């Protein structure tokens, strides 16, 4: 158990809908990362937050957004869903943003868009 929790575990929805994925980082971790794992794109970095502020963006679509709240949990919002958004979404957390700060991954949320 990494200490990172993600809810829900599974999500099935239809095209055009909007969903919210939730992540609670390990106690004491200030940085949260979101990654998408899909069959065609592999594992890709989406976005990072540090202590409530957006710090870095990767290959995140404009239809996707995220935020980190004062209690440090984070939510990833996916809207106008398409079939290709079906993937496993991982959250990771670390104490800080230095390279030696190990990232701990949650178990993931599996999103299926029908």
The binding site for another protein (CB under 8 A) comprises 2, 4, 31, 33, 35, 42-45, 48, 55-56, 58, 90, 92, 94, 96-103, 105-108
20-21-27-30 Cα dihedral, nearest 10 degrees = -70
What's the min distance (Å) between Cβ of 90 and another protein? 6
The answer to whether 34 touches 91, Cβ cutoff 8 Å, is: yes
Q: Which is nearer to another protein, 65 or 79 (CB)?
A: 65
Least distance in angstroms from the C-beta of 30 to another protein? 12
Cβ at position 26, least distance to another protein in Å: 12
Measure the CA–CA gap between 98 and 61, rounded to whole angstroms: 26
């Amino acid at each position: 158990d990494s200490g990172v929790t993600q809810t829900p575990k599974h999500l099935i929805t239809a095209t055009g809908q909007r969903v919210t994925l939730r992540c609670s980082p390990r106690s004491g971790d200030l940085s949260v990362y979101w990654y998408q794992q899909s069959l065609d794109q592999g594992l890709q970095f989406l976005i990072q937050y540090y202590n409530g502020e957006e710090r870095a963006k990767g290959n995140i679509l404009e239809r996707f957004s995220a935020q980190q709240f004062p209690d440090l949990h984070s939510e990833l919002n996916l809207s106008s869903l398409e079939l290709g958004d079906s993937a496993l979404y991982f959250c990771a957390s670390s104490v800080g943003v230095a390279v030696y700060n190990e990232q701990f991954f949650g178990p993931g949320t599996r999103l299926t868009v029908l």
